[in-house]
Amino acid sequence: KTVNLEFISANPTGPLHVGHGRWAALGNALANVLAHAGWEVTREFYINDAGKQMDGFGHSVALRYLELCGVAIDKDELVYGGSYVIDIAAKLRELEGDTWVAASEADRDAFFREKGYQLMLSRMQTVLEHMGIPFQVWFSERSLYVKDADGTSSVDVMLAALEAGGFLYKEDGATWFRTTDFGDDKPRVLIKADGSYTYFAPDIAYHLSKFRRGSTYLINIWGADHHGYIPRMQAACEALGHAGKLTVVLGQLVNLYRNGEAVRMSKRTGEMISFEELIEEVGADATKYLMLARSTDQPIDFDIEAAKKQDASNPVYYVQYAHARICSLLRKAKGSAPETAQSDEGSLPKGQSKAGEDTEPSFSAANLSLLVDPAELDLARVLAQLSEVVELAARDLAPVKLTRYAEELATAFHSFYTRCQVISGDAATTAARLYLADATRSVLALTLALLGVSAPDRM
């Protein structure tokens, strides 16, 4: 079946914050899991590019542009005061020179709103590409108001559908939606007395557009502060004929720490740490994995220094090291005689790189009945859980089940590797144990891929 997964909704007026990073990692992993479980998934980013916040952004960029051109400005007018606004203004001044100094304020603000919007959206896209998090649809909120050839917008279509169902009424000059017919605690205004739309109106139109584009089910990942918004949006979907087809996953906050001390401000900018800065310091793999290592209903205490550690205390490193160790073992097996003794690679080394060698020798003739040691059987049992874990992760929309499984599998392999000499003078036992090791490599690689994390051949 088809499912639309909307997992970032952001204003293009500032950088992605760390909360967006958690939802990005969660949505990416969830999309991977659902696709692996047989769903046809559309990954969607909702751009909140309509409304007064965009005007405030454009005016702020224009003011910083004037300042760079030597014009005195009233900084109290800055709606967005972050250093990134200065960066955008500087970039546009490079391109435009002083052309816009003499323009009218309205024309100047409109120009810098649109150009600043394009640069900020491009920056978001670059960050997510660097994270290995793809989106198939970047949906613009503005598009909901665009009239087609018949003079009808998506918002108009939505209002007509609710009107036809008898769910709208007028009171005190406003247009109300009787969401109480579908379990909401009170009716909701869609059009205010002054004729302007509430936030709820375009949101309903947006959800209707997802159904009209062919999705049977919708999954949204929202911040926990949107909890009260869920019943009214589910009521809207039911009124439009899609009862039970919207599921909302709420993501709790991310608290940043450095060596146990709370961190709120960037040393570089003196402002809140952005998602972009976090991944620059910690890396994409560790960031994504650790954002997935807790259930979505739990806040994450993310320690930057702990995330950078390259030892067994760091769960992503621990799991990736198990994969790299197996790849090393398989390379050794390909180039060694059966009597060559197994040797440990030593303590967990720092650094990692990917190798292009073929690390998949065939062990199809191995006699697996020789695998009778408790550590071998324990590892085999964990491997056998893969299908169930993926199924449950898809059913419960909970990729955290995969991080727990990856760590359990890595632990089982390390125990097996410590207890059982894989490459020995017994050719039959060596083949059976290499088969088990290679199966573990395959399952670790798949599990990490579903989480959106790489499986390095060397570390």
**Could you tell me the CA-to-CA distances from 84 to 64, 137, 201, 308, 370 in Å, in that order?**
10, 26, 31, 26, 62
Digit-by-digit pLDDT tens for the chain (459 residues) are 999 999 999 999 999 999 999 999 999 999 999 999 999 999 999 999 999 999 999 999 999 999 999 999 999 999 999 999 999 999 999 999 999 999 999 999 999 999 999 999 999 999 999 999 999 999 999 999 999 999 999 999 999 999 999 999 999 999 999 999 999 999 999 999 999 999 999 999 999 999 999 999 999 999 999 999 999 999 999 999 999 999 999 999 999 999 999 997 776 666 789 999 999 999 999 999 999 999 999 999 999 999 999 999 999 999 999 999 999 999 999 875 443 344 444 333 333 334 444 444 556 789 999 999 999 999 999 999 999 999 999 999 999 999 999 999 999 999 999 999 999 999 999 999 999 999 999 999 999 999 999 999 998
**Whole-number pLDDT of residue 334:** 86
Indicate the pTM of the whole model: 0.90
Angle between helices 275-282 and 18-36 (to 10 degrees): 70
Residue 161 CB neighbours (<10 A)? 17
- Got the DSSP string for 104-129? -HHHHHHHHHHHHHHHHHHHHHHHHH
Cα separation, 21 vs 291, in Å, equals 8
Sign of the alpha-carbon dihedral angle for 257, 263, 267, 268: positive
**Whole-number pLDDT of residue 323:** 98
**Beta carbons within 8 Å of 367's beta carbon, 6+ residues apart:** 428, 431, 432
